[in-house]
Amino acid sequence: MSERAEEKMTKIVEPSVLAGFQEFLPGDQIVFTGMMDTIRRSFESFGFIPLDTPVLEKAEVLLAKSGGETGKQIYRFEKGDTDMAMRFDLTVPLARYVALHYGELVFPFRRYHIGKVYRGERPQKGRFREFYQCDIDIIGSETLSLINEAEIVSVINSTFEALDIGRFTIRINNRKLLGGYFASLGIDDPTGTLRIVDKLDKIGAEKVRAELAEAGLTETQADGVLKLTGLRGTTEELVSELERMTASIPEPLFALGVQELKQVCENIAFFGVPADRFAIDLKIARGLDYYTGTVYETFLNDYPELGSVCSGGRYDDLASNYTKQKLPGVGISIGLSRLFYQLNAAGIIRSDGRATPSRILFIPVGDTLEYTLGLASEARRLGVPCETYLGGGKPGKKFAYADRLGIPFAAVIGGDEMSEGCLTVKNMRTGEQKKYPSVAEFINESCEGND
């Protein structure tokens, strides 16, 4: 071996992925892709328009809100003279898109966007630096009717019904209600207070009280905050209680929030969402300070420890950093990568062993290649993904291939099948073999097609 050849052979770089970055083996990838397709179909069934924006944006545009200051989590770099950054959510690019293309869009603008976003967080279980978000938003020009806030609940409901990952509850609150209530208590930093209240589920009332005190709230103020956020009851009971409270709370914002919450709940029922799928929860607030009305969180009833799996809310001005045009909207986001990780870890979803789209493995035996390939084409024409084993080797190796990939049927095509113009199919699960006069007859009997 020449020195040069030897040198070439030793130049092997250990293959690995960046810490905090995720990729799947085929079985998991197929489940993940299936969930993404389900979400997409659900969003499209409500007329949300697909949108796709660049992963990279000008840093000054992407970071307009923070005045160009780089958050530590942002992937930001220069190339040539250009200061650029990778998107950290799909909302800022949406704001930029709507501001840029305002004149060419039809309002209300209903869009969905399923895409990767980037945050250089400290890597930890279930937190990724590259992850998928699945967002929908409805953006109005100047105004957007309150009823859209109820429709969003029906989209969450349909989407999680279609995902089929168990019972769930969409919890609803209203930021005006919270803001008005806090103002009535003389709390002058409602946003900061909301951020603390937001932790109620995670850290409990005791610690929230301590944090509220630390933030400068009096005991009376903290009592008031915990009284409201501790209210329990059915939707009707809570609406009644809140309406009663408006008598003693002079802040008009509180009354407005109560009225919005009441109307949204009534409309949700109009949209056909079952009553046990949504609930008023006065302690949810969403940390982000741009929400101005209804806020949503979605919990899996049997796995509350997963936290909210779909969150969002109403905002009054989407794109104030990019345009003077007032663009109120309402939207939600599903953090799919995290959700998938959690569902997988909790055993709620599991790969069924299927590691390929193929439903049939055609195995030519002897001089039957052309005939076999014709059968495979016919299966495809009928909408059934399939493949033909094109390598050599013993039959056992070929069946093992089907088995390891979870292909449910193997069609062994020998000279007899070819001369008779038929096919013999083995059910890989039961081991049963059966002869069929045509691919169509086999598919009608055994395959559910390309689902």
353 DSSP assignment: S
Among 4, 7, 67, 164, binds its own copies (CB under 8 A): 67
Residue type, 390: L
Within residues 184-243, the interface with its own copies by CB under 8 A covers none
β partners of residue 369: none
* CB 432 within 8 Å of CB 426: yes
Residue type, 37: D
Should residue 365 be labelled a site residue for its own copies when binding is judged by CB under 8 A? no
- Pull the structure tokens for residue 183: 């103002």
Q: Which stretch binds its own copies (CB under 8 A): 37-45, 224-232, 257-265, 284-292?
A: 37-45
Within residues 305-364, the interface with its own copies by CB under 8 A covers 319-324, 355-358
What minimum distance in Å lies between the beta carbon of 349 and its own copies?
16
User: How many CB atoms are closer than 10 A to CB 227?
Assistant: 13
User: How many CB atoms are closer than 10 A to CB 52?
Assistant: 10
What minimum distance in Å lies between the beta carbon of 72 and its own copies?
10
- Pull the structure tokens for residue 144: 């957007």
Strands (E), 205-344: 278-280, 291-300, 310-315, 329-335
Element containing residue 360 per DSSP (H, E): strand 360-364
- Pull the structure tokens for residue 89: 């959510």
Residue type, 323: T
Element containing residue 336 per DSSP (H, E): helix 336-345
Should residue 5 be labelled a site residue for its own copies when binding is judged by CB under 8 A? no
**Cβ-based nearer residue to its own copies, 114 or 239:** 114
Among 135, 281, 387, 417, binds its own copies (CB under 8 A): 387
What minimum distance in Å lies between the beta carbon of 54 and its own copies?
4
Calculate ∠ Cα 234-235-236, nearest 5°.
90
Among 4, 5, 7, 13, binds its own copies (CB under 8 A): 13
Within residues 398-417, the interface with its own copies by CB under 8 A covers 401, 404-405, 407
Should residue 367 be labelled a site residue for its own copies when binding is judged by CB under 8 A? no
Q: Which stretch binds its own copies (CB under 8 A): 30-38, 189-197, 343-351, 423-431?
A: 30-38
**Cβ-based nearer residue to its own copies, 299 or 371:** 371
**Cβ-based nearer residue to its own copies, 221 or 356:** 356
Among 6, 45, 305, 345, binds its own copies (CB under 8 A): 45
What minimum distance in Å lies between the beta carbon of 56 and its own copies?
6
Among 35, 90, 94, 99, binds its own copies (CB under 8 A): 99
Q: Report the length, in residues, of the chain.
A: 451
Q: How far apart are CA 75 and CA 85, in angstroms?
A: 6
Within residues 257-316, the interface with its own copies by CB under 8 A covers 270-272
Should residue 126 be labelled a site residue for its own copies when binding is judged by CB under 8 A? no
Among 4, 12, 164, 214, binds its own copies (CB under 8 A): 12
Q: Which stretch binds its own copies (CB under 8 A): 111-119, 218-226, 277-285, 419-427?
A: 111-119
**Cβ-based nearer residue to its own copies, 209 or 380:** 380
Which residue reads 């990724």 in tokens? 128
Among 391, 430, 431, 448, binds its own copies (CB under 8 A): 391
**Cβ-based nearer residue to its own copies, 3 or 104:** 104
Under 8 Å CB-to-CB from 319, ≥6 apart: which residues? 95, 96, 98, 99, 325, 327
**Cβ-based nearer residue to its own copies, 50 or 437:** 50
What minimum distance in Å lies between the beta carbon of 31 and its own copies?
11
Within residues 70-89, the interface with its own copies by CB under 8 A covers 75, 77-80, 82, 84
β partners of residue 364: 413
- Kindly write out the interface string for residues 420-439 of this chain, putting x where it contacts its own copies by CB under 8 A and - elsewhere: --------------------
Q: What is the DSSP string of 295-323?
A: EEEEEETT-GGG--SEEEEEES-TTTTT-
Q: Which stretch binds its own copies (CB under 8 A): 100-108, 295-303, 308-316, 341-349?
A: 100-108
* Three-state DSSP class for residue 355: coil
Q: How far apart are CA 203 and CA 334, in angstroms?
A: 23
Q: How far apart are CA 210 and CA 107, in angstroms?
A: 45
Residue type, 254: F
**Cβ-based nearer residue to its own copies, 96 or 277:** 96
With contacts defined by CB under 8 A, how many residues of the chain interact with its own copies?
102
Among 156, 386, 410, 423, binds its own copies (CB under 8 A): 386
Element containing residue 413 per DSSP (H, E): strand 409-413
270 alpha-carbon distance from chain centroid = 25
**Cβ-based nearer residue to its own copies, 111 or 426:** 111
